[in-house]
Amino acid sequence: MKNHSNFSAPALAIAAVAAFAFLSACGQREPDTRMQSFSWPTMGTVAEFTMRADGVTAERAQKLAANAFRLVETNLSVFVADSAVSRLNRGETIRLASDSPLANVARFARETAEASGDAFDPTVNPLMRAWGFRGGTPSIPSATTLSNALESVGWRRLSIGNAASGEIVISAGGAELDFGAIAKGYAVDLAYDRLVANGFTDFLINLGGNIRVCGSPESGRKDWNVAVRDPSGRRPPSPLPRPLRSGEAVATSGSYERFVEIDGRRYSHIIDPRTGIPVDNGLGSVSVIAPTAMEADAYSTTLFVLGREAGAAFLSTHHACTAVFIGQ
Ligand code: ADP
Ligand code: MG
């Protein structure tokens, strides 16, 4: 899979799941027979759900997670003609509950765009198209194509205002919204919250490399060991700097799984909205450990664009997060 990059693209990205490996805590010990695992295609990628429970309980929990992913997809996919995002992209103004998926994702995308100094931008889609990430034969865009695309990009057009109590009014202001860098993280949080609210625990959710854990992987053990795949594929996966505690999330953004190839060169599916050019700063991947999967998702993309130096400055104002930068 090369040039499907939006979260809702129909093709599967098996490789994305391999970005992380849940390192079974056991090593020499017998594997826990109560560890149930499920894997299924959703949101243009693959979801994995692992839970320490009996089969019936784990299956009920998995169904709940799958429903949460479907709900997010129905609301945020640009491939679903009547999704809220598709309607916004057609120029409609929408009134919706302020705790709905679209409201949460749009608010946090705007906040991240501002905090990142425009490195993160949920309106990059015209640039994605210009480079061939949305179909057709990828080619280097002409200066005119690039400047036209750049002109239509800009998260500041996105307007979110308060309506009646508990409601907001939102419009894209002529921009084209694409929440591909944040929606999977939000979907993981929604599934996580619903699972916890229903009393489920001791599980790991992995939606295309967006992971969140709850409870513990085995009795008497609190932490989950997770490893990040080496972007070059030459080195073995490396463990995160620390295990994940219950409730924590981690996500990875990289150029090695989704890219287009033009004249034998690979171009990353993460584009710097300030220049219109796919990121090429020597980084292979950035992983972020954060309190929620939406933060981990948005910030891993942001840091991939910012690079190590500006990324460090961004992190200094986001104390709850830990980042791992890996070179190409
Ligand atoms: P993945 O979707 O592989 O998990 P990311 O979370 O990093 O990876 O999201 C990348 C997707 O986000 C791209 O495919 C594109 O849809 C969108 N995108 C690309 N560049 C940016 C950017 N600078 N800011 C926000 N979104 C971006
Ligand atoms: Mg992301």
Quick check: CB of 185 below 6 Å from ligand 1?
no
Alpha-carbon distance of 79 to 9, in angstroms, equals: 7
Quick check: CB of 124 below 6 Å from ligand 1?
yes
What is residue 213's predicted lDDT score, i.e. its pLDDT?
A: 98
Q: Looking at ligand 1, which atom is closest to the CA of residue 301?
A: 7
- Average pLDDT across each block of 10 residues of the chain; the chain has 328 residues. List them in order: 38 35 48 83 96 96 98 92 94 96 97 98 96 92 97 97 93 96 98 98 96 94 90 87 96 85 91 97 96 98 98 96 94
What is residue 9's predicted lDDT score, i.e. its pLDDT?
A: 36
Quick check: CB of 178 below 6 Å from ligand 1?
yes
Q: Looking at ligand 1, which atom is closest to the CA of residue 271?
A: 20
How many other CB atoms are there within 10 angstroms of residue 300's CB atom?
A: 28
What is residue 224's predicted lDDT score, i.e. its pLDDT?
A: 96
Name the residue of 2, 3, 4, 5 to mutate for ligand 1: max ligand atoms within 8 A of Cβ.
5
What is residue 17's predicted lDDT score, i.e. its pLDDT?
A: 37
Quick check: CB of 3 below 6 Å from ligand 1?
no
Quick check: CB of 121 below 6 Å from ligand 1?
yes
The secondary element (H helix, E strand) that includes residue 151 is helix 143-151
26 Cβ partners below 8 Å, 6+ apart? 32, 218
Ligand 1 centre from 302 Cα, in Å? 9
According to DSSP, the β-strands at 94-97 and 159-162 are unpaired
What is residue 23's predicted lDDT score, i.e. its pLDDT?
A: 55
What is residue 13's predicted lDDT score, i.e. its pLDDT?
A: 28
Quick check: CB of 122 below 6 Å from ligand 1?
yes
Quick check: CB of 271 below 6 Å from ligand 1?
yes
What is residue 292's predicted lDDT score, i.e. its pLDDT?
A: 98
Question: Is the Cβ–Cβ distance between 286 and 312 less than 8 Å?
Answer: no
Alpha-carbon distance of 22 to 24, in angstroms, equals: 6
Ligand 1 centre from 301 Cα, in Å? 6
Alpha-carbon distance of 51 to 37, in angstroms, equals: 7
What is residue 19's predicted lDDT score, i.e. its pLDDT?
A: 47
Alpha-carbon distance of 128 to 14, in angstroms, equals: 21
What is residue 312's predicted lDDT score, i.e. its pLDDT?
A: 96
Walk across the sheet containing 283-290 and list its strands. 35-42, 45-52, 203-207, 210-214, 249-254, 283-290, 322-327
The secondary element (H helix, E strand) that includes residue 169 is strand 167-171
Report the candidate in 255, 288, 249, 257 with the shortest Cα–Cα distance to residue 270: 255
